[in-house]
Amino acid sequence: MKVLSLLQPWASLVIIGAKKFECRSWKTEYRGSIIIHASAKKPNRREKLFFEQDAFFKKYIENLDFLPYGALIGRVVLKDIYRTEWLLQNLEIAPFHPWEQELVFDDYSPNRYAWHLEEAEKFATVLPMKGSLGLWEYNGLI
């Protein structure tokens, strides 16, 4: 199964359904189920302070220290991929989504790709694992 590694707190925001788009500098032709891997890298002190003070992050993440790191944490479905420029002009594709929040959660600058993620499902238990760059394969049991 395909796996995408994300830094925290974004990995958890995707899995709880608060973040529906993940922006990347690259795209893939793949559509379908993707396991979300939370990277082992923890936010530095400055990043942690930002996350702890930002209202949108605080709404979903109480304490960064208690998030899973270096583990498979859930699954989503990659519905489609849009150029960020196009998406910002067509926000009505997800009319009930809180766009003000979404735009804080990622970099929607030009020449990037917004991966539309839906059907977020958090795993009952996380599976510790080293991640990888890009969209990678996991063939084990979940």
**Predicted confidence pLDDT, tens digits, the chain (142 residues):** 999 999 999 999 999 999 999 999 999 999 999 999 999 999 999 998 888 888 889 899 988 889 999 999 999 999 999 999 999 999 887 777 788 888 999 999 999 999 999 999 999 999 999 989 889 999 887 7
pLDDT at position 133 is 87
Would strands 2-6 and 32-38 be described as parallel, antiparallel, or unpaired?
parallel
Q: Measured between alpha carbons, how far is 69 from 6 in angstroms, rounded to an integer?
A: 10
pLDDT at position 121 is 97
Q: How many CA atoms lie less than 13 Å away from 27 in the CB half-sphere?
A: 14
pLDDT at position 8 is 95
- Check if the beta carbon of residue 8 is closer than 8 Å to that of residue 43: yes
